Amino acid sequence: MSFHSEAQFKLALDDVRKGFWQPGLWLMLGWQDIRQRFRRSMLGPLWLTLSTGFMLVALGLVYGAIFKMPLQEYFPYLAAGVVAWTLISSLISEGCQTFITSDALIKQIRLPFTTHACRVVWRNTIIFLHNLAIIVVVMLVFKIMPSVGSVLLLAVGLLAVMLNGVWVSLALGLICTRFRDVPPIVGSVLQLVFFVTPIIWHPSLLPGRQRVISFNPFYHFIELLRAPMLNTTPAADSWRAVLAITVVGWVVTFVLLLRARRRITYWL
């Protein structure tokens, strides 16, 4: 271990590499978070699944009627969208707290910062996997038979979201550790995004305004998860958009790490 200011590039690279290649650590920490959060509750993370389920039933009945869409069509769409959004929004909001909540650990032991980011992503992935129970129920009720291809597509989409989740947790975690006003701002933005992104409403309800939708990065991420859950294929445009965001996001995050990684501990 050696710290010279010239070595920042190598240190930042090592952080990301070692963070990823020690999955044992973040897998364990992520599970630990789930166990801690739901200790002594009988249903555990399924409590979240249940509450999401109840919210879906309420939203489905009200908005299905407002939009005058048949439940057979609207409800699966809503359920898949909300389950996808729950993962994406919690990755972003908890990403803000990546380092702040791990401050005791960060100040005691040297671990790659990427490990803490992966922990956030893994924890939320576990919750997402529990929430898939909702989708299974919806499929049973509405008699949708998922193809093997859809399951594979969902897995690939999930991996893409997770990979982006890691840079989001690193970048937002870093920024929010330094500027403590950012988490509330992110919170309000997320609320806004929920309403302007096609989650409770269908893109076909916004005729002639397709651009508003295709320029919304959240739409593409949601599509990546939602389409396979509805047994369809995400549009190629969505894949392209997500790929571009992944590359740009990681480059920006790496530059941030290069410039500020060593200061994170000082800001805690």
Partner 1 sequence: MASIRLRGVHVEIPIYNTSARSLKKQLVRATTGGRIQSDHGITVVRALNGIDLELNDGDRLGLVGSNGAGKTTLLRVLAGVYEPTRGSITVAGSIMPLLDVAMGIDMDSTGMENIMLRGRLLGIDRRQLLELRDQISEFTELGEYIHMPVRTYSSGMVLRLAFGISTCVTPEIVLMDEYFAVGDAHFMRKAERRLIDVVAKAGIIVFASHSGDLIRRLCNKALWVHAGEARALGSTDEVLAQYAASG
Instruction: Please spell the DSSP secondary structure of 230-247, one letter per residue.
Output: TTS---HHHHHHHHHHHH
Task: Work out how close the CB of 126 gets to partner 1 at its nearest, in angstroms, rounded to a whole number.
Answer: 17
C-alpha to C-alpha distance for 80 and 221, rounded to whole angstroms: 12
Give the nearer residue to partner 1 in terms of CB position, either 40 or 211.
Answer: 40
Task: Work out how close the CB of 6 gets to partner 1 at its nearest, in angstroms, rounded to a whole number.
Answer: 10
**For residue 79, which amino acid is it?**
A
Task: Work out how close the CB of 1 gets to partner 1 at its nearest, in angstroms, rounded to a whole number.
Answer: 5
Task: Work out how close the CB of 102 gets to partner 1 at its nearest, in angstroms, rounded to a whole number.
Answer: 11
In the block, residue with structure tokens 């809503």: 78
Give the nearer residue to partner 1 in terms of CB position, either 18 or 202.
Answer: 18
Task: Work out how close the CB of 32 gets to partner 1 at its nearest, in angstroms, rounded to a whole number.
Answer: 7
Give the nearer residue to partner 1 in terms of CB position, either 3 or 195.
Answer: 3
Identify the H or E element spanning 14: helix 8-21
C-alpha to C-alpha distance for 226 and 243, rounded to whole angstroms: 17
The tokens for 252 are 């920006």
Give the nearer residue to partner 1 in terms of CB position, either 104 or 148.
Answer: 104
Give the nearer residue to partner 1 in terms of CB position, either 28 or 43.
Answer: 28
Task: Work out how close the CB of 145 gets to partner 1 at its nearest, in angstroms, rounded to a whole number.
Answer: 40
Q: 60-68: list long-range contacts, CB under 8 Å, 24+ apart.
A: 63/200, 63/201, 67/201, 67/202, 67/205
State the DSSP code for 125.
Answer: H
Give the nearer residue to partner 1 in terms of CB position, either 110 or 211.
Answer: 110
In the block, residue with structure tokens 């869409």: 69
Residues that bind partner 1 (CB under 8 A): 1-4, 24-25, 28, 32, 35-36, 39-40, 104-111, 178, 262, 265-267
Task: For Cα atoms 259, 260, 262, give the angle at the middle one, nearest 5 degrees.
Answer: 115
